[in-house]
Structures are given as C-alpha cells and as structure tokens.
Amino acid sequence: MKIWQLYNLLGYWKKLTSGSVNRKIFGAAVTVGLLTVFVKVVGMAKELLVAQRFGTGDDIDAFLIALLIPSFIINIIAGSFSAALIPTYIQVREQEGKQAAQRLFSGVTVWGLGLLAITTILMLVVAPLYLPMIAAGFERQKLDLTFHLLYALAPFILLSGINIIWSAVLNAGERFALAAFSPILTPGITIVLLLGFESWRTFILAAGLVCGTAVEIVILGIGLKRQKISLFPNWYGFNPSLRQVISRFLPTVAGSLLMSSTVIVDQSMAAMFPTGSVAALSYGNRIIALPITLATTALSAAVIPYFSKMVAHQDWKSIHHTLQYYLRLIFIVTVPITIIFIVFSELIVRILFQRGSFTANDTQLVAQIQSCFALQIPFYIAGRLGVHLILSMRNNHILMWGSLFNLIINIVLNYLFSQWMGIAGIALSTSFVYIFSFSLLLAYNLKALSQKQSI
C-alpha cells in the first residue's frame, strides 16, 4: 500500500512540474531547495561548533579576514565565468550541438583555471601590501596568523573555480540535484576535522574548505562523465563562442568586482572596531544567510537555464509573466520570515550560539546585527532573480554600473550608520544597498521587457 501511495505521489509530482516553464522552474527550484536544506543543516551544525570552539576571539577574526580575498577572487573570476558561460553554452548546445558545447566548456575551463592560477599567485605575492590595510586594527601577532591562514587557503581558489564551472554545466543540463547536494561534503568534512584535531586552531577550518571542495569536485566529475561530458580541458583556440563568453565575462567581472568590494569594505571597517567585531558581523549574517542561500541557490539553478532558453527563442511575453509570478511569490514568502527574524533575533542567537566561548554579551551584539541584516532578505532574493534575467539577456554591462552605485552607497552608509549604531550600522547599510539594488534592477528589467515586446 505504501509503495502504491509513493508511486501516486511521484506521478502527481511529475505532472505538477511538467508542462509550462513556470512549472518546470518550480519543480527545479523545489528540488534544489530541499537538497540545499540538508546542506544548510550540516553547514549550520558546523557554524555552531565553530562558535562554541572560537567564540568571537582573535583566531576567528584572523580566519575571516584571511578568507576574504580568496572568496573575493572566487566570486569575481569563477562566478563571473559561470554567469557568462551558461547562456552561451545553452545557445551553442541548442543551435550547434553537443560537440560544439563540449569545445566551449573545455575552452572556458582552460581559460578560467589559467586566470585563477595567475590571480592566486598575485594574491600571495602582494599580500604584505594589502593585508595590513584590510586588517588595519589587528595587532602584529594576529596579523601574522592572518598571513599564515591566507597561504593555507590558497588552493581553495583553484578548487572552487573548477567546482563552480562544473556545477554550472550540470545545471545547464538540468541535472540540478547533484550540484545542489554535493556542497554538503565541505561542512561535513570540516565537522569531522574540528572534532578530531583541536590543536590545529583555525587552520582546521582552512583544511576543511580545501579537502571538502576537492571531494566535491570528484562527485561533480562523476556526474559530468555520466552526461558524456569530457573533463579533460582541451584547448581549441579562441573560437567565436569562447570569444562571446569572454566579451560577456569582462563587464560581469567589473560588476562582480565592484559588488564584492562591498564585502571587503564591510570587513575592513569592522576590523577597525574592538576585537571580535569582524566575527560578530559574520555571526550576525550566518542565520540570515540560510533563507537567502536556500532561495537564491534554488532560483539560480532553476531560473538561468529556462530564462536562457526563452531568450534564445525571444519569448519575451513568457519571460515577463515568469518574472512577475516569482517576484510576487518571493515577497509573499519572505516578508513574514523577515519579521520573525527581527522580532525574535535575540532569542534565535541565544539558542543557537550562546555556549562555550560565545558569551551573553556576544549574543546581544550579534542579535542587533542580525536584525539589521534581516531587512535585506526579500530584496536580496528578488534582486538575484533580476540579475539572472539580465545575464540571460546578455546585458552584463548593466550589472557593472549598478554595482558601482552599490559600492558608493555602501561606503557612504557604512560611515554614517556606524557613527550612529556602531558595528550594527554596517549591517544596516548592507540591507539598504540591496533595497536600492533591487529597485534599480526591477526598473531596468521591466523597461527592457516592455521595449522588446513592443518590437
């Protein structure tokens, strides 16, 4: 009886998620979302263990600043290549066939890894110049620890680059589950290392990132091989499709560079506050990041391939309908979540973090920061939907100018709000930046779609 019920349920689910594009996006988003929940549960377990072990002390401050530049590079280069690749990859696969798509994938992999390798070397060589400026409030011993952690994290850049590109290609092939679930390995491995090697201090966190990402690559590689995609990065020269990706990559990099700079600005300004401020700012965003990451991961994986297909067929009416439908859905779901986070912020932080090295004073500060970060939830998620539409329409230059305005607003509001509220003002500034960003993206997308439908 139970098997028959399960069979009926699967049949209903298949019927529900087939047919229209909105249904397909919904099915993909739910699949990715459910798997991401499992990933985030393990990730949260890791964060709770980190909070208990390190609190808001110097060690975790040093690790977060050391991770700042590698994450910055990964977001800018690997993330931008992924964003520039997928619309072109789908177009080439649909119009020229799988062999042409394979050549494009190989070319982007070679180009991306070469760029990441050069950037990683430069990061290490010039670290004595930029790291003291970013960590301006750190004492000498704390700064030395940050240098050592930066060197330990260097392999993470290349590994993450491969991970991001391979995950994007899996999603482009509508194989969402594997790319969504494989990230569970990194926090899982980090937990094992935290429990087994207490004497390694925060170097254990660096080891967890590097080892976990390496294992993720193995799993993703198996998934790509099953799709008969060659993993060996052959070089076929600068063919037209690769040139097209690179031409879209450059403005995307510029936009990512400016947008990711806001994180460096936030962390650098936090480092000027008393010890533990960098960690407090990070903890304040950890819980808020759960619904944001869950929603954006699900939407990103599901929306980009379908948006790209609709753009390839110039189905602007369907795109407009899909955009409006999911914007309404996002705000209906996320506004109540935002209110809950603001009202119960201190209770949430106390239950989750207040133990071991994480004190009651830490709880009060982190709860205030968390409330300020919570305001961004609806606007960040809705804004990411707008970003993906712009990328699918290949108007990447818009993101560059929008990111420039975001960076300027962030710097100004960081200064003003931090004078008023201290470290929590930086979190409030971030939320205002995403409100502005969403408004700008929405206005542009609606205008662009209206013009295309009238042609």
**Domain map (residue ranges) of the chain:** 19-454
Per mean pLDDT, which range of 100-109, 251-260, 267-276, 439-448 is the poorest? 251-260
Terminal-to-terminal C-alpha distance of the chain? 56
Query: Token pair for residue 395?
Result: 């108007």
Class of residue 410 by CB neighbours under 10 A (exposed 0-12, middle 13-18, buried 19+): buried
Per mean pLDDT, which range of 62-66, 85-89, 377-381 is the poorest? 85-89
Q: What are phi and psi of 230, to 5 degrees?
A: -75, 135
Q: Which long-range contacts (CB under 8 A, 24 or more apart) does 317-320 make?
A: 317/453, 318/21, 319/389, 319/449, 320/449, 320/453
For residues 182 and 247, the model is more confident at: 182
Q: CB–CB of 418/426 below 8 Å?
A: yes
What is the phi-psi region of residue 117: left when phi exceeds 0, alpha when psi lies from -120 to 50, beta otherwise?
Answer: alpha
For residues 331 and 391, the model is more confident at: 331
Say which amino acid occupies 145. L
Which residues, 6 or more positions from 36, have their beta carbon under 8 angstroms from its beta carbon? 180, 293, 294, 297, 298
Give CA–CA dist 129/180, Å, rounded. 37
Q: How many Cβ atoms sit within 10 Å of the Cβ of residue 10?
A: 10
Among 265, 262, 286, 264, which Cα is nearest to 374's? 286
Give CA–CA dist 82/88, Å, rounded. 10
Give CA–CA dist 399/253, Å, rounded. 9
pTM of the complete model: 0.63
**3-state percent helix, strand, coil for the chain, nearest multiple of 5:** 85, 0, 15
Give CA–CA dist 376/220, Å, rounded. 32
Among 38, 63, 39, which Cα is nearest to 51's? 63
pLDDT band, residue 400 (cuts 50/70/90): low
For residue 74, the model assigns a pLDDT of 83
**How many Cα atoms occupy the beta-carbon half-sphere of 446 within 13 Å?**
9
Max avg pLDDT among 37-46, 73-82, 150-159, 189-198: 150-159
DSSP H or E segment with residue 302: helix 277-312
Q: CB–CB of 157/119 below 8 Å?
A: yes
Say which amino acid occupies 87. P
Class of residue 95 by CB neighbours under 10 A (exposed 0-12, middle 13-18, buried 19+): exposed
pLDDT at 2 over 60: no
pLDDT band, residue 443 (cuts 50/70/90): confident
Give CA–CA dist 89/169, Å, rounded. 8
pLDDT band, residue 305 (cuts 50/70/90): low
For residues 263 and 155, the model is more confident at: 155
pLDDT band, residue 1 (cuts 50/70/90): very low
pLDDT at 5 over 50: no
pLDDT at 16 over 60: no
Which residues, 6 or more positions from 439, have their beta carbon under 8 angstroms from its beta carbon? none
Per mean pLDDT, which range of 30-44, 175-189, 282-296, 329-343 is the poorest? 30-44
For residue 6, the model assigns a pLDDT of 44
Query: Token pair for residue 175?
Result: 């194989």
Give CA–CA dist 451/455, Å, rounded. 7
Q: CB–CB of 258/89 below 8 Å?
A: no
pLDDT band, residue 339 (cuts 50/70/90): very high
Give CA–CA dist 90/174, Å, rounded. 11
Q: Quick check: helix, strand or coil at residue 227?
A: coil
Give CA–CA dist 160/283, Å, rounded. 23
Cα separations (Å) of 413 from 256, 283, 379, 419, 430?
Answer: 20, 21, 17, 10, 8
